[in-house]
Chains A and B, each alone.
Chain A
Amino acid sequence: MSVSSKAMTPPSSYDDATSPLRGEGWFKWSEWQLALPLALAFAALFLAPLAMLVAVSFFADDKFQQAGFGSWVKFFTDPFSYKIIADTLLLGVKTVGATILVGYPLALVYLDLPARLQKVLLFIIVLPLLLSVVVRTFAWIVVLGREGLLNSLLLSLGLISEPLKLLQTELGLVIALTQIEMPLMLLPLISVMSRLDPNLRDASAALGASRWRTLFKVIVPLSMPGLIAGCLLVFASSTTAFISQTVIGGVRLIYLPLVIWQQGLVVYHWPLAAVVSLALVVSVLSVIAALSWLNRRSSGHLHG
C-alpha cells in the first residue's frame, strides 16, 4: 500500500514554527547568493523585454519616429477592438464552463475509485497535457472535419443527413479547447478533493443527506479553491491558445492573439501589436485577479 506523501509530512506552518532561528528580515545576502543568477536572468530576459514592450507601445508609427499615445488611441477608438476583446474573454468563459461541466464529475468519480484505478485515471488525465498542443489541435481537425469521426458517426446513425460544419465555428473550437484544457481543470480539482476528509461525506450521508445534497452542500464548497485554481488556468490558457484558435477557428473568428500575430509578424506594426498584447494581458489578468479575490474570500469564509 502506498501512503500519500502528503499525509506523512507536516504542513509548512509547523515546519516554520520549529525553526525559530529564522528571522523575518527583509533581505538576507546568504539567501540571495544562490538565487542571484536566476534573478539576473529574469531581469535581463523577462523584465527588460516587458518594459521595452510597454515603451514601444508609446509610439504611433512602425518606424518609431513619433512618440505618443497614437497606437493606444487607434486601438481603443475602434469599436471592432471591443468586440474582439469581448469575444476573446467569452471564449475563455465558455471553455471554463465546458471544462467544469465535463471535468467536475470526472473528478468526483476519481475520488470514489480504488487506489490502483486512481493511478490509471490520473495517467489518462495527464497524458494529453504532455502531448503537443499542435498534436491535440490536429487531432480535433480529424474528429470535427467534414469526413471526420463525429460526422461519420452521426451520418451512419442517421441523426443528420449531411455533414455538420464544425471546423471554423466557435462551437467546434470550444469542443476542442475543452479537451485541450481539461487537464488544467482536473489537476488542481483532484489535488484539493483528495485532501478532503472522507469522514465529511460519510457524516453527511449518515445524517440522511442524499448524494446530490452532499455534493452541493459539502463537496462543492470545500473544493472551491481547486475549482477556482482550475478556472484560472483554463481561462488564461484558452484565451491565449493561438494555434487552436487559428487552426480550428479559422480566420473568420478573430481573437486577440491573432491580431497580435498579424500586427507583430505580418504587418510589422510593433507599437500596435504591443498595445494589443498589453490589452490581452490586462483583460486576462483582471479576470484572474477577480477570481483569486473570490478564492481568498471563499477560503476565508471556510476557515473563519
Chain B
Amino acid sequence: MARRRSFADLSYALVIGAIALVAVLIIVTPVIVVLMTSFTENRTLKFPPTGFSLQWYAQLFDPVASRPIQRAASNSVEIACFSTLLGVVLATGASLGLSRSRSRLARAADSFFMSPLVLPGITYGLAALVYFSLLGFSPSLNLIVAGHLIVTMPFILRTTTASLTQLDPALLDSSASLGASWPYTLRRVTLPLIAPGIAAGAFLAFMASIDNVPVSLFLSNARTEVLPMRMWGMMESTLDVRVAAVSGVLIAAAFLLMLVMEWTVGLTRRMRD
C-alpha cells in the first residue's frame, strides 16, 4: 500500500523522531558521562575529563582508605540477599494460594500486598523507625532486612502472579487426573513453569533492595550503613570522585546482571507486560 507523503506526515516524522532522539540522549548521556568521569586524572568532576587513569578504582579497592564503602557494599548485598530470599518464599506461597481465587477477600489482599509500591517510601521508612524504636529494638541489619522485605516483595508477587495466571489450568488438571498428589504437581509442574517469573521478580526485588533509599535512610546508622547512604554522604560532603568509580562498578554490575536475566528469563518482556 503506497503511503501518501504529505507535509503533515513529514513534519510528524521530523518532530516525533527528533524528540525521541532527545529522549534517548537524556536517558543514556548521564550514564556515559559518569563512566567517562570515573577514569579522570583530575580531583574534580570537570567535564570533559582530562587524561585517563584507574586511580579512583584503585582507591576504591584500597582496604584502608575505602573500608567504609566496602563495608557498606557488603551490608547492602547481605540485606538484599536475605530480603529477596524471604520475599521469594512468602510471595510464592501467597501467589499459589490466592492468584486463582476469585473471592473478594483474596482480591483485596492482593492489592493490599501491592500497596507498598504506591505508599511514599519515606512514610513507611519513618513508620518502621518509630515502630522498631518504640518496641525497643536497637538498629541492626535484621531490621533493615524486614523493612526491605515489605517494599521489595511486591515485585516478586507481581511477576509470580502474572506467570501463574498465564499457566494453563489443564496442565494441573491432567497432572491430578494422572494420579499425582498436590505437592508432586507443585514440584514437577507448577514450580518449573513459573520459575522464570519468580526469578524475574527476585531480580527486580534484589535490585530494589540494593537501590533502596527511603527505608534505609531511617533504619540504617553508622554501624549498619548501606551503599546508597554511604554514597549520599560522600556526595553531600566533598563530591569525592570515588563516587564516580562506585557508580562505574554499579553500572557494570547492573548491565551484566541485566544481560544475564534477559537471556535466561526475558526480563524486559516481563517488565513491559
Report A's interface with B, CB cutoff 8 A. 4-6, 9, 12, 15-16, 18-19, 22-28, 30-35, 37-39, 41-42, 45-46, 48-50, 52-53, 56, 101-103, 105-106, 108-109, 119, 121-143, 145, 147-149, 152, 178-179, 182, 187, 190-191, 194, 202, 205-206, 210-213, 215, 232, 236, 239-240, 242-243, 246-247, 257, 260-261, 264-265, 270, 273-274, 277-278, 280-281, 284-285, 288
Of chain B, the residue at the smallest CB distance from A145 is B45
CB distance from B251 to the nearest CB of A (A): 6
Tally inter-chain residue pairs, CB-CB below 8 A: 295
| B64: interface (CB < 8 Å) | no
- The binding surface of chain A is classed by DSSP as helix
| Residue in A5, A182, A211, A260 whose CB lies within 8 Å of B27 | A182
CB distance from A257 to the nearest CB of B (A): 5
Q: Which residues of A contact B123 (CB under 8 A)?
A: 50, 53, 260, 277-278, 280-281
| Residue in B47, B116, B213 whose CB lies within 8 Å of A243 | B213
Known: A38-B153, A142-B244. A284 touches B120 (CB 8 A): yes
B255 touching A260, Cβ below 8 Å: no
A5 touching B269, Cβ below 8 Å: yes
10 cross-chain CB contacts under 8 A:
A28-B103, A31-B98, A37-B90, A128-B31, A132-B231, A132-B250, A138-B243, A182-B23, A210-B8, A257-B120
Q: Which of B30, B102, B129, B236 has the most CB of A within 10 A?
A: B30
Instruction: Give Cα A236–Cα B103 distance, bound, in whole angstroms.
Output: 29
B122 touching A260, Cβ below 8 Å: yes
Known: A12-B165, A102-B19, A135-B34. A53 touches B101 (CB 8 A): no
Known: A102-B23, A260-B122, A277-B123. A139 touches B131 (CB 8 A): no
Q: Which residues of B contact A264 (CB under 8 A)?
A: 126, 129, 218
A242 touching B122, Cβ below 8 Å: yes
B33 touching A142, Cβ below 8 Å: yes
| Residue in B126, B235, B267 whose CB lies within 8 Å of A274 | B126
Known: A15-B165, A105-B19. A119 touches B31 (CB 8 A): no
Task: List CB contacts (< 8 Å) of B199-252 with chain A.
Answer: 207, 210-211, 213-214, 217-218, 227-228, 231-232, 235-236, 239, 243-244, 246-247, 250-251
Instruction: Give Cα A16–Cα B107 distance, bound, in whole angstroms.
Output: 14
Q: Bin chain B's interface residue count.
A: 35 or more
Of chain A, the residue at the smallest CB distance from B231 is A134
CB distance from A152 to the nearest CB of B (A): 5
Q: Which of A28, A138, A240 has the most CB of B within 10 A?
A: A138
Instruction: Give Cα A19–Cα B171 distance, bound, in whole angstroms.
Output: 13
Instruction: Give Cα A260–Cα B127 distance, bound, in whole angstroms.
Output: 11
| B44: interface (CB < 8 Å) | yes
CB distance from A214 to the nearest CB of B (A): 9
CB distance from B24 to the nearest CB of A (A): 7
CB distance from A196 to the nearest CB of B (A): 14
B126 touching A273, Cβ below 8 Å: yes
Q: Which residues of A contact B121 (CB under 8 A)?
A: 240
CB distance from A23 to the nearest CB of B (A): 8
| Residue in A53, A134, A143, A212 whose CB lies within 8 Å of B232 | A134
CB distance from B256 to the nearest CB of A (A): 11
B122 touching A105, Cβ below 8 Å: no
CB distance from A171 to the nearest CB of B (A): 14
Q: Which residues of B contact A12 (CB under 8 A)?
A: 165
CB distance from A296 to the nearest CB of B (A): 14
A143 touching B30, Cβ below 8 Å: yes
Q: Which residues of B contact A38 (CB under 8 A)?
A: 90-91, 93-94, 113, 153
Instruction: Give Cα A147–Cα B48 distance, bound, in whole angstroms.
Output: 9
Known: A34-B93, A103-B23, A243-B228. A50 touches B124 (CB 8 A): yes
Q: Which of A15, A32, A132 has the most CB of B within 10 A?
A: A132
Q: Which residues of B contact A35 (CB under 8 A)?
A: 93-94, 97-98, 106, 109
Q: Which residues of B contact A243 (CB under 8 A)?
A: 213, 228, 232
Instruction: Give Cα A132–Cα B30 distance, bound, in whole angstroms.
Output: 13
Of chain B, the residue at the smallest CB distance from A192 is B272
B130 touching A132, Cβ below 8 Å: no
Of chain A, the residue at the smallest CB distance from B35 is A139
Instruction: Give Cα A242–Cα B251 distance, bound, in whole angstroms.
Output: 21
